[in-house]
Amino acid sequence: MPVAMISTSTSPAFGPSRSSSTISSGCFASNATAARVFMRSLSCYGRPAGRVTRLHLSPRHAIAARMAASDLADNFRRAMRTIASTVHIVTIHVDGTPMGITATAVSSLAMEPPSLLVCINERAAIHQVIGTRTHFCVNALHRDDVELAHHFSDYRMRELRFRTGTWLTDGEGPPRLAHAQASIVCALRQEHRFGTHSIFIGEVESVAVREDTDPLVYLDGVFGGFGG
Ligand SMILES: Cc1cc2nc3c(=O)[nH]c(=O)nc-3n(C[C@H](O)[C@H](O)[C@H](O)COP(=O)(O)O)c2cc1C
């Protein structure tokens, strides 16, 4: 399916765009070599029933193992850049003040009960407070709203975020974007920590869907949409 590019991301979190043909066999070869070096570097003593009870890693081979790990992270990053994601703004209300963040790490979870999850980096401002709220809203962006995606992913634009677009509020409920592709208000049910991120699980309470279907997608560091 053709992807029409609209705007290049300036978000420092995602870095510059790279050619999609940059995965070289050399990259995997160096990974494999490092892995072999790593495996050879393991000195094992006493293996009752085939179990390793003691490991020794020389400093030289510890460096090789670290390089293998960094290759893995780099390859994972490259892989993720080839996977298109819908762009969302996740919002909450905190004592009368709206907060929001651009997020692609959003997924439907189940139909019984209707639920979804969002993954938030611990360094994001919203991370500190979302777990204290009863509700959050996931606003899937329309292709027209690339400016909002930029504002909500740039910490310098925090003060301007809710001045762009038409935001609807229902008392202390999370802000809902009137022209979103879809907006889904959820009751926060669970929070799980993994690495640098927290996963917030919400049970769907209300949904609004825009008539025309043309979501904003993010692929290889670029915002775009499907079709012409
Ligand atoms: C396309 C795109 C997708 C993003 N997805 C996520 C995400 O799923 N989770 C996350 O924590 N940050 C994500 N970010 C990064 C945050 O939007 C960014 O760090 C934001 O500035 C954090 O909010 P704050 O400035 O209020 O701290 C994404 C950024 C972009 C440009």
CA of 200 to the centre of ligand 1 (A): 15
- Backbone φ and ψ for 76, nearest 5 degrees, come out as -65, -45
Our answer on whether the CB atom of 121 is closer than 6 Å to any ligand 1 atom is: yes
Neighbours of 217 (CB within 10 A): 20
The closest residue, in CA terms, to atom 27 on ligand 1 is 124
Give the pLDDT confidence score for residue 228 in this predicted structure: 61
User: Which residues of the chain, if any, have pLDDT below 50?
Assistant: 1-53
Q: How many whole angstroms separate alpha carbon 68 and alpha carbon 38?
A: 8
Query: Residue 82: left (phi > 0), alpha (psi -120 to 50), or beta?
Result: alpha
Which is nearest to 181 in space by CA: 152, 211, 161, 151?
211
Question: pLDDT at position 88, please?
Answer: 99
> Is residue 153 within 6 Å of ligand 1 at its C-beta?
yes
223 lines ligand 1 (CB under 6 A): no
Question: pLDDT per residue over 158-180, tens digit each?
Answer: 989 999 999 998 888 999 999 99
pLDDT given for residue 54 in this prediction: 54
| Structure confidence at residue 93 (pLDDT) | 97
- pTM score above 0.85: no
Q: Which tens digits make up the pLDDT trace of 126-163?
A: 999 999 999 999 999 999 999 999 999 999 999 899 99
Beta carbon of 120 within 6 Å of any ligand 1 atom: yes
Q: Which two tokens stand for residue 60?
A: 């030289």
Residue nearest to atom 28 of ligand 1 (CA): 103
* Domains of the chain, residue spans: 24-81, 85-218
Domain 85-218: give its CATH superfamily. Answer: Electron Transport, Fmn-binding Protein; Chain A (2.30.110.10)
Q: Measure 161 CA to ligand 1 centroid, in angstroms.
A: 13
Residues 6+ apart with CB under 8 A from 76: none
Q: Which amino acid residue places its CA nearest to atom 22 of ligand 1? A: 124
